[in-house]
Amino acid sequence: MGRSLAVMRVAVSIVALALVQLELAGAAWARSEVEVGYTREQAFSAALRYLRVDLGYEVIEKDPDAAYLLFSFADPELARKTGRGSIEVVQRERSVRVLVNLPDLPSYREEVLKRGLLDKLRTEYGEPTGEPPREKPSKKPEPKPEEPPSDAPKEDDSKD
């Protein structure tokens, strides 16, 4: 009985360790993305200024033609005290998609960076001027305004 309990504990420990490793591996591939109504150039320029000026991060590599930025930053949450990240700006058919990736940090930090960049875009360029997303057509047709019956008396503009 004691031996089977020990074997069961080892098996549970192995499964738990495997789940933790899968979670950590998934976190490394996590990224936050958002579609914006700004131009690709506006989003790229704002991201560059946000990283360099507002946050004081070091931009390691940038390519305006491919619209991506690689950067590093100091962070007390990290064991090695510096982290790396990327921002990509991808042109879509009717909008621009911004992808934020901080592989060494929890996903909520990507969300914080993304929200800061969105605030920067609004501050510098105002509300998006891009085409708004298409609304799905409603299933129920809108009622037509009622017309007066054809035998109703017509209003006469002439006065007696």
CATH of residue 34: 3.30.530.50
Count of domains forming the chain: 1
Residue 43 domain boundaries: 26-125
Contact 43, 121 (CB under 8 A): yes
pLDDT of residue 9: 57
Please tell me the distance from the alpha carbon of residue 118 to that of residue 33, in angstroms, as a whole number.
Answer: 11
Residue 16 counted as domain residue: no
Residue 40 counted as domain residue: yes
Contact 98, 87 (CB under 8 A): yes
150 DSSP 8-state letter: T
How does residue 8 score in pLDDT terms, banded at 50, 70 and 90?
Answer: low
Residue 144 counted as domain residue: no
Residue 141 counted as domain residue: no
Residue 34 counted as domain residue: yes
How does residue 78 score in pLDDT terms, banded at 50, 70 and 90?
Answer: confident
Please tell me the distance from the alpha carbon of residue 63 to that of residue 69, in angstroms, as a whole number.
Answer: 7
Contact 43, 98 (CB under 8 A): yes
pTM of the model: 0.62
Residue 159 counted as domain residue: no
The predicted model gives 96-101 an average pLDDT of 96
Contact 44, 64 (CB under 8 A): yes
Q: How far is the CA of 101 from the CAs of 8, 48, 85, 118, in angstroms?
A: 39, 15, 5, 15
Please tell me the distance from the alpha carbon of residue 122 to that of residue 112, in angstroms, as a whole number.
Answer: 16
Residue 145 counted as domain residue: no
Residue 90 counted as domain residue: yes
Higher pLDDT, 17 or 49: 49
Q: Residue 8: is it exposed, middle or buried by C-beta count within 10 angstroms (0-12/13-18/19+)?
A: exposed
